[in-house]
Structure 1
């Protein structure tokens, strides 16, 4: 009987042929053609533009729209995202989103996570698609919303024909129009497909082993700015796994998250709406809790000869953490009270002015407490380095 982790599970031939076939073909045909012919500028432009469109369709469409429902989109936006997402050849929206929801529910569980990073880089990168593992068995019970979506179901029922047709006919049409049929077919068609596959797969593999974990260490997901460049913002994976219903992955102004910029930009012209953002209080609490946890671990690692000094520092650290946590809670209560007053139409100038003053004073106090806590954490880090 096949188990969920049985390495002798039957080969999944469609996935194996697609992934290895396109990669081998690209490695042979792309340089061979270049040896005898020059690729046109239009062919290279087709590679770049189509790669971006495919990548964005996966991140903004398959991932943040359909898998996590982090925002709503006009039918025209959904159509474009589905068109180029189909071109990326990563299965139908229904299968992709359902599997991804399972991944989040059972992240790192080698028995149930379809592409668990705990089973190694190769498995989480590509190996999970090459065999019919029980952990990857389709269970669409977690996608009732998608099963009721006519556009999603049409793509799912006709996926193979649509994927083949778009991948051959669309690059061919572009190549015909620019006068470089084979150049566009090889760069904008074949090489683009391999590139999109590998960059997307890095989120399941590399983003679980390379980077930092500022929000949680309960799973293997990492934040990585470099990876975010090639994955249109998906590299901020530690944040995403804790706050998966946020339409953003990169939450800071300097975070590279083109997918977030696109979704937000479309909202200004009415093409997207109901953009979900996780509460600032919850985000800040998670970040500070991780800093406190790491500082405590540093202190606990010191030899008993320094126990008195470490105990005193631990007490200060706990005190600062408690003060900051209380400040965050007060800020959250104030925010909720303001929302309630606004909801009840209590919008007189005095009430709003009073809240504004309270918010400003609270922000100043929180900023000071955060600096004290961070300074103490830095002191702990230096003490650990000297021990």
Structure 2
């Protein structure tokens, strides 16, 4: 346990060992890390706890250097715990380096224990180790998926649940998720190219250059049209259109009378490939929708229902979004070593249940949510359908924000959710 201090905040590190497989008494252990944050003026107070579940999967918890945004509002009422979900940050991190000593089958088996059900059980181990009877939880994006898993299996451990942009579909196949997701990505493409009409010609120029020339990123990885399309991930974030346009307008420079893609542009393209530093996200992304069924590369298969996303020089250019494709494991440097494991996980059919519909139907924990009408990552219609099945829940449904609303205006959003949670508690108390 280590304490760090600045002028306004106190930080304390917590570590706990947990089983890799919570259902196996002989399972090897992994380490879970979480950072406690409290206002220095309230350090000696007996404050309630709030645990933050980060988006992802595979993203580490924030590393704050002060109180701002949602954290500022949370620290008014809570002692905050920033949990590095298993496999991220300092919690037995997963990447191509840490998995290199395992066979593909061993990698797949290991990674099968890194979904929301295991993450929630880790949190329970941490809660018990800290001697906390109940705590509140805040889940952003995939963190919201974890929150519903928590409500399903350990509701007695929770005083409140807050979710921003992360109410998942809790039934059905991943295919239905991507059928909606492609529609939302098409909407964002149309909005972007309507706002910046000349960007369409620039994207075609870049795509054609990539098709006609061997281009490599600064890490030596060949750069392709398919990779270029994936920067459409940015279209699901607030105020992303103009920065994306600025990126496109500086794509080319002239060298000895020839137009070539510039090093700054290619460096930016490499930086956009979060899968390079977080292969966990790519290899487990579709599994977050799987219960007793295989994804079988859902986004890849469903893409054929939306042919506009297959680049053709004589058709309008379209960006894709956060979809994961099997070709990534042939092209992206840090995904190549995990290809065989990814193929095995895509065919895995015995994924356990992530939600208990009966428990959610009789939920007594106040659940307050911010759901975004125009969310490109979490389908609004499916969020509404799920919330209709959860007792003691209330959503603030708004088009003021995109998926990353908590990062844009987190203090206001969390303040509203806390009010909703308090009202629900009073109403059903």
Which structure carries more strand by proportion?
A: 2
Which structure carries more helix by proportion?
A: 1
Q: With structure 2 as the length reference, what TM-score do the two structures score?
A: 0.19
Bigger Rg, which one: 1
Q: With structure 1 as the length reference, what TM-score do the two structures score?
A: 0.21
Higher relative contact order by CA 8 Å / sep ≥ 6: 1 or 2?
A: 2
